[in-house]
Amino acid sequence: MVSKTLASPGDQPFRPYAWVILFIIFLASVAAPISQFKVPPVLPTLIGQYDLNMTMAGLMMSVFSFAGLILAFPAGVILAKLGQKKTVLLALLTIIAGSLWGTYAGDAGTLLATRTLEGAGMAILGVVAPVVITSWFPPHRRGLALGIWSTWVSSGVIVMLNVSPMITPPGQWAATWWLATIFAAVALVLYMLLHRNPTGSPGRDAAAKDAPPMRSMFAEALSIRDVWLISVALFSFNIMVLAMNTFYPTYLVKVHGLDMRQAGFYSSIPNFVMFLSCPLGGWLSDKTGSRKLIFSVCLGLSGLWWLAAFNVPVSGVPVLMACFGLLGGPIVTTIITALPDAVRRPALLGFGMALLQFWHHLGEFVGPVYFGSVLDHSSWAMAGYCMIPVCIIGGVAGLMMRIK
């Protein structure tokens, strides 16, 4: 069903209003990582207020991805039933409801429940946004449009790690939740007012009606060895990314004595660098003719990053974080561009993407909990060393793929 929804005619005309659609779906998408990354800038405050250990603190991020695990495949069904506009609005309403509820959470358990609700919105947006863009942009313009949209997570991280410390008084965290709620509400209003169907008709979005049986297509996708290997690579990458994004600001505050504004800026440096390293990785893979070699090597080198992560002076942290961005950008780009080759035929691409989304969210779920649980029983440096095997496993999985 997903693969059919993604399909579009090869002679699809380009209409300038597509750029308006890209703008509003980008804003809607950014609302999700803004909500997801509310926790890292105020994590020390949450730890103190709710008396959290590091495992529970990591769970504050991990539960956000729990809904993604559940909705990776059903999100495609929701889109087919409701159409593009209603699906986007449903996702944003879910994020707004979760964030608003979280603002008044009286205990850690309630806050965890609100994070799961917000995560459901992000899971749906992760599926519907590329469909919206694909339906408006013809193939010869689609790469640029999807390339712009692919910065949605980095944009959300940058906003929260830098704006949150500016607007949130020390020892408090509610202002950060209000920022996320208001941003999502603005995105919802703009999408409601500016959305148009790609056909120009006032009716419901076109949905796939003649899609092949989901069970058989999914079974075929599951039978492809390279799909599993590329999923392991993405799983490994997301474990380390979420571990770093969740705990590095707290490390900088507790160990190096930085304030939350400085810690947030330093921790957001990789996302600034990824605005350049993502397209650079794609260009390099086109030139070399290999996707797997690039992300496998970068995953292996990421192990060296974790070797140094908690052993450099504070003056070296900006350089260290820039290196993380240089390695991470090509990994993201080349894993996604390798998937069409891995699934072997276009009809399976949607199901391959759904499977990849599942492992994407599983990595996000495991990363903070894994790192936090190790940290509860050891030092920062040892927790970093425990990330090295994760990087190696992802790199080896990539090298084992049969495609280039």
Q: pLDDT by residue (tens digit) across 16-66?
A: 899 999 999 999 999 999 998 888 888 888 888 888 887 788 888 878 777
CA distances from 87 to 35, 83, 195, 237, 393 (A): 18, 6, 12, 29, 36
Mean pLDDT across the stretch 68-83? 76
Per-residue confidence (pLDDT) for residue 101, from 0 to 100: 94
Give SS3 for 201. coil
From the list 232, 228, 395, the residue with the least C-alpha distance to 327 is 395
CA distances from 253 to 42, 182, 262 (A): 11, 28, 9
Kindly tell me the number of DSSP H helices and DSSP E strands found in the chain: 18, 0
Whether pLDDT at 208 is above 70: no
The amino acid sitting at 401 is M
Per-residue confidence (pLDDT) for residue 141, from 0 to 100: 64
Confidence class for position 239, pLDDT limits 50, 70, 90: very high
The amino acid sitting at 60 is M
Per-residue confidence (pLDDT) for residue 1, from 0 to 100: 38
- For the chain, domains (ranges, CATH) are 1-199 (1.20.1250.20), 213-404 (1.20.1250.20)
Mean pLDDT across the stretch 312-325? 94
Per-residue confidence (pLDDT) for residue 5, from 0 to 100: 39
Per-residue confidence (pLDDT) for residue 93, from 0 to 100: 97
Cβ-proximal residues to 328 (8 Å cutoff; 6+ apart), any chain: 237, 241, 270, 274, 277, 298, 302
Per-residue confidence (pLDDT) for residue 86, from 0 to 100: 92
pLDDT, averaged across the chain = 83
CA distances from 401 to 145, 231, 277, 328 (A): 29, 11, 23, 20
Give SS3 for 11. coil
Q: pLDDT by residue (tens digit) across 266-310?
A: 988 998 898 888 777 777 876 777 778 989 999 999 999 999 999
Using an 8 Å Cβ cutoff, are 399 and 295 in contact? Answer: no
Whether pLDDT at 324 is above 70: yes
Angle between helix 225-254 and 214-222 (nearest 10): 80
Whether pLDDT at 91 is above 90: yes
List the structure tokens of 165: 């410390």
Of the chain, the percentage scoring pLDDT greater than 70 comes to 87
Task: Give the whole-angstrom CA distance, residue 294 versus residue 49.
Answer: 43
Using an 8 Å Cβ cutoff, are 123 and 71 in contact? Answer: yes
Using an 8 Å Cβ cutoff, are 399 and 296 in contact? Answer: yes
Using an 8 Å Cβ cutoff, are 234 and 356 in contact? Answer: yes
* The residue count for the chain: 404
Q: Please classify residue 377 by burial: count the beta carbons closer than 10 Å to its beta carbon, then call 0-12 exposed, 13-18 middle and 19+ buried.
A: exposed
Task: Give the whole-angstrom CA distance, residue 197 versus residue 176.
Answer: 34
List the structure tokens of 43: 């994590």
Per-residue confidence (pLDDT) for residue 139, from 0 to 100: 57
Q: What's the number of CA atoms in the CB half-sphere (13 Å) around residue 245?
A: 31
Per-residue confidence (pLDDT) for residue 336, from 0 to 100: 74
Task: Give the whole-angstrom CA distance, residue 240 versus residue 235.
Answer: 9
Using an 8 Å Cβ cutoff, are 375 and 56 in contact? Answer: no
Per-residue DSSP letter, 145: H
Q: What is the dihedral of CA 181, 185, 79, 114, to 10 degrees?
A: 20
What are the helix (H) ranges across 7-82? 18-36, 39-50, 54-71, 74-82
Using an 8 Å Cβ cutoff, are 380 and 255 in contact? Answer: yes
